Amino acid sequence: MTETIHRAPDDTYRVLDENGELVDGAEVPDLTDDELVEMYRYMKLARRFDERAVSLQRQGRIGTYPPLSGQEGAQIASAMALADDDWIVPSYREHGASLVRGLPLKDTLLYWMGDERGNAIPAEENIFTVAVPIASQIPHATGMGWASQLKDESDTAFMCYFGDGATSEGDFHEGLNFAGVYDTPNVFFCNNNQWAISVPREQQTATDTLAQKAAAYGFEGVQVDGMDPLAVYQVAHDAIEKAKDPDEDEMRPTLIEAVQYRFGAHTTADDPSVYREESEVEAWKDKDPIPRLETFLVETDRLDDAAIESIEADIEDAVADAIEAAEETPRPDPASMFENVYAEMPQRLEQQLEYFQSIRDEYGDEALLED
């Protein structure tokens, strides 16, 4: 029984305060210095990628893009707590978590460039395909965990990510209820970034916390400071352990509410100035997870200016390389939209494909494209 998981739902777990100092009595998670620096590097990389992606969208080089800035601590630390065989079942904003799990940034870019190949997760990575319909991935995560149990596996956890708004959907209830009933090895990780587009968290539910909703399903729900990567790591780690190897009187699933903030727009198509005050954003920026972790690492001699500089240079290159690789990828073959619809193409679809190719031959692709 770990105290990170067995606590009142509004008793937010913290390790670092806003200034990057250890909270009284808090323990640093059991990570090597290298792993802690790696966590920092991933967070910086996710932030830099995010900045570049937003600006690529502004230049018309990618399509609509959902920024993650402010949410790096929750995403990176929770994903780092997983073992190689574990799975993540993401929403559309988990570029950071997916990065940790091995999804190339180039693929993330391709997806938001409207190229289906960005949705083809490399075969060796345990990352489920992005879910855009809110909360619809939650029952999938439950089903995967349930299947793993039915297959007599005992060492795989399934981490499902979703937002605060998602907790209002029926799929949230059904997914968590099944998880409770079948005691599945799941961690339900709610990225409560305070907003579902323009709707604030307070209008989403009348409960004080999202974490407390877990009580209705018979398992634990805890809040963690989602902008404190060390706290997120610890809580995620303990929830993953419990999913795999619960105590006799424990249930496997856990709901984690990671309290955080979306610094940017909901997506590049959104204008947050219509519905929220800049002062609110500024107040949350004081909790920015990156300087917090940086201060902690510097003050505990795990990181110095030279190392920061080299990390920054390194991530600049990594992001530039990903952008170059995505932009140099030849446009998808138009006929590829007919592929992978079925294991075997039905005759009617074959005929449509044939017709499509004849139209392309006759008129040329230029004529089929919007100007």
Partner 1 sequence: MSENLTLVQAVRDGLHDGMAEDDDVLVMGEDVGQNGGVFRATEGLYEEFGDDRVIDTPLAESGIIGSAVGMAAYGLKPVPEIQFSGFMYPGFDQVVSHMSRLRTRSRGRFTLPMVLRAPMGGGIRAPEHHSESKEAFYAHEAGLKVAMPSTPYDAKGMLIASIRDPDPVVFLEPKKIYRAFREDVPDDPYEVELGDAAVRTEGEDVSVFTWGAMTQPTVEAAENLDRIDVEVVDLRSLSPIDFDTIIESFKKTGRAAIVHEAPNTGGLGAEITATIQEEALLYQEAPVERITGFDVPFPLAALEDYYLPEPARIAAGIEEAFDF
Ligand X SMILES: Cc1ncc(C[n+]2csc(CCOP(=O)(O)OP(=O)(O)O)c2C)c(N)n1
Catalytic residues: 262, 266, 275
Residues between 72 and 131 with contacts to partner 1, criterion CB under 8 A: 92, 111-116, 119, 130
Residues numbered 183-202 forming contacts with Mg ion, rule: CB under 5 A: 193, 196
Q: Pick the closer one to Mg ion by CB: 149 or 267.
A: 267
- Would you say how long the chain is, in residues? 371
The answer to the question of residue 274 lying near ligand X (CB under 6 A) is no
Q: With binding defined as CB under 5 A, does residue 4 bind Mg ion?
A: no
Residue in 73, 139, 143, 165 binding ligand X, rule: CB under 6 A: 165
Site for ligand X in 247-266 (CB under 6 A): 262, 266
Q: Which does residue 93 bind out of partner 1, ligand X, Mg ion, none, counting CB within 5 to 8 angstroms by kind?
A: ligand X
Encoded tokens for 108: 């993330």
Does 336 participate in binding partner 1 (rule CB under 8 A)? Answer: yes
Name the binder of 352 from Mg ion, ligand X, partner 1, none, CB < 5-8 A by kind. partner 1
Shortest Å distance, C-beta 194 to ligand X: 8
To the nearest 10°, the Cα dihedral for 297, 303, 309, 313? -80
Q: Is 163 a residue that touches ligand X (CB under 6 A)?
A: yes
- Interaction mask 88-107, ligand X, x per CB under 6 A: -----x--------------
**Residues contributing to the site for partner 1 (CB under 8 A):** 63-64, 92, 111-116, 119, 130, 132-136, 165-166, 168-171, 196-199, 203-205, 269-270, 274-275, 331-332, 334, 336-338, 341, 348-349, 352, 356, 359, 362-363, 365, 367-370
Residues that bind ligand X (CB under 6 A): 93, 132-134, 163-166, 191, 193, 195-197, 262, 266
